[in-house]
Each structure stands twice: as C-alpha cells, then as structure tokens.
Amino acid sequence: MDDETHERTNVEVRLKQLPTDNYSDAIDLIDERLPNFKTSTIRLELLKRKFDLQQKYLRSLKKKHSLTIEEKSKLELLQIEFFATMTEIVHLENVEDVFAEKRKYMEELVDDSVLDREKWYRFQMEKINSRLPRREQGIRDSRVAVDFIPDGWQVEFLNAVDAEQSIIIGAPTAS
C-alpha cells in the first residue's frame, strides 16, 4: 500500500471516530490532512467528502431560527469555504460549464432556487471577493509587509521596478 493510500485510510478511520454531527472537527481533520495528498483522484475523493460535510453543516446552521454572533460568523466563513471546496473540485474534474453542472449547490449556497448567472456573480463579488483561498503559492519577499505574501507575478513586478525596467502586466483576477 503506498503512502497516500495509507494516509487516506488513516483519515477515514479518524473520521469514523468522530460523532456524525461534529461537522466542524471532521472538516478540520480533512483540511489538516489534505496537503499530504498529491494524487488528484485521492484529493478529489477527500474534497468531495469535505464538500458533503460542509453542505450538511451549512444546512444545520441554516435550520436554526436565531443564530448567535459566533454562529453567524461561522456561517459566513463556511459559505466561503464551501465555495472554495466546490471551486477546487470543479478544477480537478475539469468542468467546462460550472454554472450548469453545479447549479443546485450554488442555489443552496445563496438560498435562491431561481438562481441566474447575474445573482451568482453578484454573490461572488459581495460575499467571496478576496477571501477565497489562493491557488498559487506565494513567495515571501522582504520588500513587502510581513503579513503579505506576494504571488510570483507580483515578485516579478517588484524585480522590474527595482531594475527600473518598463513593464506590462497581465495579472490574474478573481472570478
């Protein structure tokens, strides 16, 4: 048995030890172990498991008639994490038309059964915005604040500025 298969088995065993309604700890466990998996099929399996747990957790929070401030904060963060997980799943599955294939999850996420593309994009701009986890690994650089880790293209920009070069940037943008 290879390392990733063994690790996946360990994750499954630990998940079974948790109470079935302890969504938060189960999600945290998967998040903690996910970086250990490089094989896309195993990552996809774990992401789908996490996605299912997030969906159940969202439903349980939304069922409550009144939420505490802490629960409201958790709900908002959970919506962002749910979206991030769905985004990574879509990437690994090479989905062409995300809106068509994942619409039912989106409708549940934004509490709108007549969701159209405009509402979906508005949700992303208003709720998700810059809080979506970065897909690109940042590169620490002493020229920027300690709490900011620039992307590769940003470091290249800083290098060009330091070298007093002319530059044109085609920077990646949020969805």
Domain spans in the chain, listed from the N-terminal domain onward: 3-95, 138-175
Q: Which residue has the tokens 């069922």?
A: 63
Whether residue 137 is predicted with pLDDT greater than 80 in this model: the reply is no
Identify the residue whose tokens are 């979506």: 132
Q: Do the beta carbons of residue 61 and residue 110 sit within 8 Å?
A: no
Q: What's the whole-model pTM score?
A: 0.69
Residue 117 has what pLDDT?
77
Confidence of residue 136 (pLDDT cuts 50, 70, 90): low
